[in-house]
Amino acid sequence: MTPFPLSSAALLKSAADRVRSARPELADGLDLSSAQALRAVRAGLHGDRAAPADEVLAVVVIGRLDLPRWVRETCAFALALAPGEREAWRRSFTRTVYLAGSPSNLRERFSFDHVAGDDSVAWAGPAPGARTATLRRLLKAFEAADELTAQRSATVTVPGRPGARPAARRELYIATAKVSVTEALVHVNHLLAEAVLDGLIGPGDRLTLRFVPRLTGLGAQLAMLRVDTDVHRPDELQAYAGLTTEV
C-alpha cells in the first residue's frame, strides 16, 4: 500500500476514496473535488433523510474511558464481525453512536455483542437502528467536551491469535489540538474500524498510541488516515488520526 503524504491534495484524495470505498455505486454521481463539496456530500448522506433500508449503526456504551483499552476493545469488536456485518457497516460509513452508561447495569436488559473484560465499555451492532432504539432512548449521548490532552505513548496488543499473516507493529497517531475527547473517539473509531475491515489491523498486532497536536511533520509513513473538516480552517481538511505502515 502506498503511504499517504499530508498535502491538501492527499487529504482530499483520502476523504474522497473513503466515500468511493463505502458506496462505489454513488461515487460517480457525487462531486468529490473539494473540501466544501465533500462537506455537502456528507451532509446529504447523513442529514435528516430517511435512512436507507440497508443502513446499520453500532452503539457504544461507555462507563469508564481508558483510551488505550478502548482502542484494544474497539479492534476486538470489529474483528469479531461476520462478513455480512462488515460489509453493511462499511456501506454505512462505520456509523457509530456513543452513549454514557454502565454496561454492567444494562446487561440484563440489553444484549451486547462485545463487552470489555472490565465492563468499562460495551458494543451493540452494527445493526439496523430499530434494534438499538430502546437503548438509545434510555441513555444520554456520551459527551466529553474537554480538549484531548497529550498523553504518554502506550502500546496495546489486539486480542486474538495471528492468522494467515504474522502480527504487525504499527503506530497510531492521534491529533489533540482543539479536538475534544468525544471528537477524538469518533475519529479514532472510524480509523480503527476501517483498518480492521481493510485487513491493516489483525489479531496479535501491536499498536503504539502517540498523541500529537497535529499530524504534520511526523516523518512517519502513514498507511491510513482519518480526514475531516479542519477545526482551524473550516474550508480545508485535516488529518485527525493516522495509522502507520509496519514499523
The pLDDT tens digits of the residues spanning 172-181 come to: 999 999 999 9
What rounded mean pLDDT belongs to the chain? 88
**Ranges 25-34, 122-131, 179-188, 190-199: which has the least confidence:** 25-34
Residue with more model confidence, 169 or 220: 169
**Ranges 32-46, 108-122, 189-203, 208-222: which has the least confidence:** 32-46
The pLDDT tens digits of the residues spanning 85-99 come to: 999 999 999 999 999
Residue with more model confidence, 102 or 43: 102
Q: Please give the average per-residue pLDDT across 184-191, as a whole number.
A: 96
pLDDT-derived band at 146, boundaries 50, 70, 90: very high
Q: Please give the average per-residue pLDDT across 120-147, as a whole number.
A: 95
The predicted structure's pLDDT at residue 2: 46
Residue 83 CA from chain centroid, whole number: 18
The predicted structure's pLDDT at residue 162: 86
pLDDT-derived band at 21, boundaries 50, 70, 90: confident
